[in-house]
Chains A and B, each alone.
Chain A
Amino acid sequence: MADWIIDVVSWTLLLAGGAAGVIGGIGLLRFPDFYTRLHAAGVTETLCALAILLGLALQSGLNLATVKLIIILLFLLFTAPTATHALARAAMVDGVEPEVAEDDSEPTPGEPSSNT
């Protein structure tokens, strides 16, 4: 009975992870500029990795493989924001302009200068 529940939960996680990956990939193609594509990449790098690795960990049970999967997951979750931030910073320093919606209720802050 307990096995059955674990199977269903892990299948749900795996399929949800796959779906999140595909949705993020579609966003990577559909979004208009570089900074919005960063958000689409964020979907594939957080939810997709989280769900698939947790689903695999549930499937393999309590052993060293699960520990390794958790280590991979923690490492991905620690490095993904670092890589994203480095990319965003590099693009900004290089002068890639973000498209900002015009009809904004608040004044947008000026472009941060590149020499900080």
Chain B
Amino acid sequence: MRYIISLTLVLAALWLAISGVYKPLILLLGVGSVALVVWLSLRMEVVGVEHNPVLFSWRLPLYWFWLVWQIVVANINVGRLILSPGRIHPRMLSVPVRHKTAVAKVAYANSVTLTPGTVSLLLNEDELTVHALDTRSARELEAGTMAERIAWLEGSATEQK
């Protein structure tokens, strides 16, 4: 029930933000489409399966700001490599994934792909195979800062072995 309410609220906010026309008929259509989408989601049995309330905390915006900063830094690095392509040093590497929930693992793999210089190729139970463009990107990934941040986001940093 909690998931249905949160889904309805998010969908209603999305409708209000995108529509921009607040007349009775349009609002009625909005209520109808929100109800339709919620009903379809219930029929597809995807409500509550894929969201983890742990990740929707005050830590998420902080993580996003940190990630945007990482993206900018990595972009400058890759931009310099593009202008002098002799320095690229592509290789494959594997890094351990110690997060417990699937959401945290996927968030980690997505963050790795989102920072240029590293692309995640394969995510197993406890290992992530990555293609790195140069030694610096590979070193930064192996240092594990991003994995620690995700663990902090997951809230299980203290429980790790």
Binding site for B on A (CB under 8 A): 20, 23-24, 26-27, 30-33, 35-36, 38-40, 42-43, 46-47, 50, 64, 67-68, 71, 77-78, 80-82, 84-85, 88-89, 92, 98-101, 104, 106, 108-109, 111-112, 116
A79 to B81, CA, bound (A): 25
> Are A46 and B122 in touch, CB under 8 angstroms?
no
A39 touching B116 in the complex, CB below 8 Å, given contacts A27-B78, A71-B18: yes
Q: 16 pairs across A/B with beta carbons < 8 Å?
A: A27-B85, A35-B90, A36-B88, A39-B117, A40-B78, A40-B82, A42-B117, A43-B79, A71-B17, A77-B114, A81-B111, A81-B120, A85-B121, A92-B121, A100-B90, A101-B89
> Are A24 and B109 in touch, CB under 8 angstroms?
no
Main secondary structure of the interface of A (DSSP, over half): helix
Q: Nearest 4 pairs between A and B by C-beta?
A: A27-B82, A81-B113, A42-B116, A47-B75
> Are A109 and B117 in touch, CB under 8 angstroms?
no
**Tally of contacts, chain A with chain B, CB under 8 A:** 119
Which of A23, A24, A92, A106 contacts B122 (CB under 8 A)? A92
Which residues of chain B have C-beta atoms less than 8 A from A112's C-beta? Answer: 121-122, 129
Which residues of chain A have C-beta atoms less than 8 A from B83's C-beta? Answer: 23, 26
Min CB distance A45 to B, Å, is 9
* Closest chain A residue, CB of each to CB of B114: A81
Which of A82, A88, A104 contacts B131 (CB under 8 A)? A88
Which residues of chain B have C-beta atoms less than 8 A from A42's C-beta? Answer: 78, 113-117, 119
Which residues of chain A have C-beta atoms less than 8 A from B111's C-beta? Answer: 81
Given A32-B85, A38-B119, A112-B121, 5 new contacts (CB under 8 A): A23-B79, A46-B75, A85-B120, A100-B92, A112-B122
Min CB distance A91 to B, Å, is 9
The verdict on B160 contacting chain A, using a C-beta distance below 8 Å, is no
Min CB distance A63 to B, Å, is 9
Which residues of chain B have C-beta atoms less than 8 A from A27's C-beta? Answer: 78, 81-82, 85
